[in-house]
Amino acid sequence: MKRDAERGAALGLSTIAFTVCFAVWTIFAIIGVQIKEDLGLNDTQFSLLIGTPILTGSLVRLFLGIWADQYGGRPIFVAVMLSSALFTWLLTYADTYEMMLLTSLGVGLSGGSFVVGIAYLSKLYDKEHQGTALGVYGMGNIGAAVTKFIAPFVMVAYGWHAVAQIWAAALVLMSVLFWFMTSDEPQITAQRKEGKAPKSMAAALEPLKKLQVWRFSLYYFFVFGGFVALALWLPRYYVGVYGMDIKMAGVLAALFSVAGSLFRAIGGWLSDKYGARRVMYWTFIVCVICCFILSYPATDYTVHGIRGDISFSFALGFIPFTCILFVLGFFMSLGKAAIYKHIPVYYPDNVGSVAGIVGLIGGLGGFFLPVCFGLMNDFLNVWTGCFMLLFALVATALVWMHFTIRALERKTHPALKKPADLPELQGAAKQN
């Protein structure tokens, strides 16, 4: 019972801590709109500003994951929260675009917290319950919605500086609670008692030679990178396309963040019950459909009829647009959980490094995609260009996944004429 209580406390506090970190990581989705206006930035400069913290949080994930495996997730998690809190507070002293970019690099450290929690919790739960536990933890993505729901009202009332200061204080408070209310992983405690040296960096990086790891990374580039990119971009999209004020835009964009976060626990449970591969198929098929619909630009048509021209238009109003976005976010959340269900199953001794590289690539999607969105706005002059790019990404991921799985199935079971019910392909996947 004591063991269950400790695991429950670790899961609950890790999830709350990750929520706070994610709220800080996406802070520019709201305050960036005001900064854009104050500094007179164009869309490309704006997209670079909101994407810079995502870049930092992505690049540090590999090393943070390895350090969490080597020294324990608890001290690394606390160090990440305190360091990102410092830079978030310093953000209020930046008064030029260049200083904003420099300080936002440090703010982005908060995004590295995800892989630390994955490495920490995967050592506390057995294989049969890891998917559910990691899915619950991944619900911390809802921090993006917290920022979108609350930050606009704080910013309108007190200015964007107050948002940064309050978010920084929340990180410090959470780091204190986490340190005093959780304990180290049993494996780390035993390692310290026995005086064993941590696993070397070379040994931790060994699994990265496998193509399977990079295939998982591409999947995560879409389901997580695309989620982060849209979470950052949607307030600007709603303002630009539908002429909304920042408060309304933030609330509607938050609905997508909720869908892409809150249901991640369901994705973990479904992956435990039906297999992660099957959940990935559901995710990619539905996302292909949603992105295709969203990518179609507002268009006026004229048909030259017998008795005169016939004109009609196609454009999504903000209500159907928001509904389709909610569905897209829901299935992205399932996919995020399914991908991380694979990692402790196939790489139980290297969760930190594998989760780190997958999270790194996925996080880079959250950096590069908003930049691409801004470039497409500036040069293509089509608002829906962002969804065109996401459609191409998810279609590529679906095709690669399907043909890889079919090849592995035929290699393991040559007589198969259709996909077998091999949810994890445990025998074949290790060879890929």
CB 219 within 8 A of CB 335: yes
Give a yes or no: residue 105 inside a domain.
yes
Q: What is the pLDDT of residue 398?
A: 93
Give the confidence band of 419 by pLDDT, cuts at 50, 70, 90: very low
Give a yes or no: residue 171 inside a domain.
yes
Q: What is the domain-level CATH number for residue 291?
A: 1.20.1250.20
DSSP state of 303: E
**SS3 per residue for 333-385:** HHHHHHHHHHHHHHCCCCHHHHHHHHHHHHHHHHHHHHHHHHHHHHHHCCCCH
Give a yes or no: residue 132 inside a domain.
yes
The least confident of 38-47, 227-236, 302-311, 420-429 is: 420-429
- Quick: pLDDT tens for 163-175: 999 999 999 999 9
Place of tokens 């007589």: 415
Render the burial of 7-29: b for 16+ CB within 10 Å, e for the rest: beebbebbbebbbbbbbbbbbbb
Question: Residue 129 pLDDT more than 50?
Answer: yes
From the CB of residue 426, how many other CB atoms can be counted at a distance below 10 Å? 10
Q: How far apart are CA 235 and CA 148, in angstroms?
A: 8
**SS3 per residue for 382-405:** CCCHHHHHHHHHHHHHHHHHHHHH
Higher-confidence residue: 78 or 354? 78
Structural domain of 182: 2-186+199-429
Give a yes or no: residue 193 inside a domain.
no
Tokens of 9: 């406390």
CB 61 within 8 A of CB 25: no
Mean pLDDT score, 408-426:
53
From the CB of residue 314, how many other CB atoms can be counted at a distance below 10 Å? 10
Residue type at 40 in one-letter notation? G
Q: What is the DSSP string of 77-107?
A: HHHHHHHHHHHHHHGGG--SHHHHHHHHHHH
Give the confidence band of 282 by pLDDT, cuts at 50, 70, 90: very high
Give a yes or no: residue 393 inside a domain.
yes
Of the candidates 143, 165, 145, 170, the one whose C-alpha atom is nearest the C-alpha of residue 154 is 165
Q: What is the pLDDT of residue 425?
A: 42
Of the candidates 129, 166, 121, the one whose C-alpha atom is nearest the C-alpha of residue 147 is 166
Mean confidence (pLDDT) of the chain: 83
Q: Residue 429: CB partners within 8 Å, gap ≥ 6? A: 212, 346, 408
Give the confidence band of 310 by pLDDT, cuts at 50, 70, 90: confident
Q: Where are the beta strands (DSSP E) in 117-237?
A: none
**What's the pTM value of the predicted model, to 2 decimals?**
0.72
Which of helix, strand or coil describes residue 309? strand
CB 204 within 8 A of CB 349: no
Give the confidence band of 178 by pLDDT, cuts at 50, 70, 90: very high
Q: What is the pLDDT of residue 125?
A: 79
Give a yes or no: residue 12 inside a domain.
yes
Give the confidence band of 432 by pLDDT, cuts at 50, 70, 90: very low
Q: What is the pLDDT of residue 260?
A: 79
- Quick: pLDDT tens for 81-100: 999 999 999 999 988 899 99
Q: How far apart are CA 83 and CA 57, in angstroms?
A: 12
Give a yes or no: residue 191 inside a domain.
no
Higher-confidence residue: 17 or 296? 17
Give the confidence band of 243 by pLDDT, cuts at 50, 70, 90: confident
Number of domains in the chain: 1
Positive/negative CA dihedral, 161, 162, 163, 164 = positive
Of the candidates 224, 209, 207, 206, the one whose C-alpha atom is nearest the C-alpha of residue 339 is 224
Q: What is the pLDDT of residue 1?
A: 56
Give a yes or no: residue 194 inside a domain.
no
- Quick: pLDDT tens for 112-126: 898 898 888 888 877
CB 429 within 8 A of CB 423: no
